[in-house]
Structure 1
Amino acid sequence: MFTMHVDDDVELSIFEPRHAESLFQLVDKNRDRLGVWLSFPEKTREKADSLAFIRKSLTRMADGNGFWAGILYKGELAGSTGFLYIDQEAGRTEIGYWIGADFTGRGLVTKAVRKMVDYAFFELGLRKVNIQTSGGNGKSRAVPERLGFTKEGVLREYEYLNGSHHDRIVYGLLKEEWGEF
C-alpha cells in the first residue's frame, strides 16, 4: 500500500479495493452536501460503484496518468484527493479533493493538497499544478488561495448540476512559485 505521511494525524493512502465499503459509506453519508458541487455522488449508488472507481484509479496509476488517495484522519477515512491526470509532456497535473462534513474545519484538505503539490513538483518532476473549483464553493476556493495559487480565469456556466449552471474557477501554480506564499 502506498501512503504519504502528512503529519501525526493525517495520511494519504492510495485507494485499494479493500477501501470500497468505507469510501461508499462516506460518499453516501455526504451525498447531498457533495452533490451540490460535484457530479460523482449521483453516480455512486452502491459499494460496487466505489469499487469500480478504485479499480479505474489503480489502472490510471499503473499507466502513470493520475491516482486518487484517501485522506485519513487518525486512521479514519475523511475524504479524498487525487491527480485527475498527469501530463508528463506538458509537465502539469490537476488536483481534485473533497472532505466529509464531520471532518471540516481541521485544515485536512489544505494539508493534503499541500502534500500533493509537493509530490507533483518534487517526485513527479512536474512544472505546473492546476485546481478547478465551482465558483460558488467558497470553502473549496479557499484551498488554492491559501496555498498561493493564482486565479487564472473563470469558465462561465461550465457545469450543469442540480438544475443550474455553475462557473468553474481555474487556479494555477508554477513550480518556481511554490513556497513563495
Structure 2
Amino acid sequence: MFAVSLGDDKAELRPLEIWQAEEFLAHMDRARELVDPWIPFASFATDLDSARDLLRRYAEKQAADTGRLYGIWLEPAAQGRGLITRAAERLIDWAVYERGMHRVEWDASAANTRSIAVAKRLGMTRDGVIRQNYLYRGVRHDSEIWSVLAPEWRARTGR
C-alpha cells in the first residue's frame, strides 16, 4: 500500500481498504457530525459490517477502474490546515499526469461553502448548478459542478 505525504505533520492521503474497516468506522463515528451533511456515504458506514461493505464496493470499483476511495481522516481537529486542498492537488496531478485525464470535476453541495472554497483554491471554474440534484434526508439539495482542464492544470503547475 502507498501513502502520499501532505506535508503536514503526519497527514497522509492513502487508499482506504477493506482491512481498515474498524479504523474507518471509528473515524466516521468521530467525524460523522462534521462530514455527514456533505458526504452522504458517511451515513452508510454505521457498524462494522456496513463499513466493510462500503469499502468492499469501492475495492470492486477500483478493480473495474470505475472509482476509487482515498482518505485523509478529516476530523474537527484537522480543519483549517489545508489538507483537503493539498490532497486534491495530489489527486489532480495523478489524474492529469499519470492517467492522462482531460477534465477533472469537483461536485459539491451548493451549501458547502468550504468545499466550494477548495475548488476555487484549486483554480477550478464553476460550470454551473444542478438544481435539486439529490435527495438526502428528505431534502432536495443543489450541486455545484466545478472543473479544471488538463491544459489549465499544466499551466497552473508549470509542468
Q: Give the match for residue 3 of structure 2.
A: 3
Q: Contact 1:135/1:169 (CA < 8 Å) preserved in 2?
A: yes
Q: Contact 1:20/1:54 (CA < 8 Å) preserved in 2?
A: yes
Q: Kindly provide the CA deviation profile for residues 85-140 of structure 1, in whole angstroms up to 9, marking residues without a partner as x.
A: xxxxxxxxxxxxxx322211110000000000000001111111001000011011
Q: Contact 1:44/1:50 (CA < 8 Å) preserved in 2?
A: yes
Q: Give the match for residue 144 of structure 1.
A: 119
Greater shift in the superposed pair: 53-62 or 123-132: 53-62
Q: Give the match for residue 163 of structure 1.
A: 138
Unmatched segments (≥5 aa) in structure 2: none
Q: Contact 1:12/1:69 (CA < 8 Å) preserved in 2?
A: yes
Unmatched segments (≥5 aa) in structure 1: 72-77, 79-98
Query: Where has structure 1 moved over 4 Å in runs of 4 or more?
Result: none
Higher strand share: 1
Aligned mates of 1:138, 1:20 — CA distance in 2: 29
Aligned mates of 2:143, 2:149 — CA distance in 1: 20
Q: Kindly provide the CA deviation profile for residues 122-165 of structure 1, in whole angstroms up to 9, marking residues without a partner as x.
A: 11111110010000110111111110000001001112223322
1:180 CA drift (Å): 4.1
Q: Contact 2:44/2:54 (CA < 8 Å) preserved in 1?
A: no
Higher helix share: 2
Aligned mates of 1:5, 1:35 — CA distance in 2: 25
Alignment of 1:1-150 (within 5 A): 1-7=1-7, 9=9, 10-71=11-72, 78=73, 99-150=74-125
Q: Give the match for residue 87 of structure 1.
A: none
TM-score by length of 2: 0.88
- SS of corresponding position for 1:151: strand
- SS of corresponding position for 2:62: helix
Tell me the amino acid that sits aligned with residue 17 of structure 1: I
Q: Contact 2:109/2:144 (CA < 8 Å) preserved in 1?
A: yes
> Once superposed, what is the RMSD of the aligned Cα atoms?
1.7
Q: Kindly provide the CA deviation profile for residues 31-85 of structure 1, in whole angstroms up to 9, marking residues without a partner as x.
A: 23322223212221102212112222222222222211222xxxxxx2xxxxxxx
Aligned mates of 1:102, 1:112 — CA distance in 2: 17
Over the matched positions of the two proteins, sequence identity in percent amounts to: 30
Aligned mates of 2:152, 2:126 — CA distance in 1: 13
- SS of corresponding position for 2:61: helix
What number of residue pairs does the alignment pair up? 155
Tell me the amino acid that sits aligned with residue 151 of structure 1: R
- SS of corresponding position for 1:28: helix
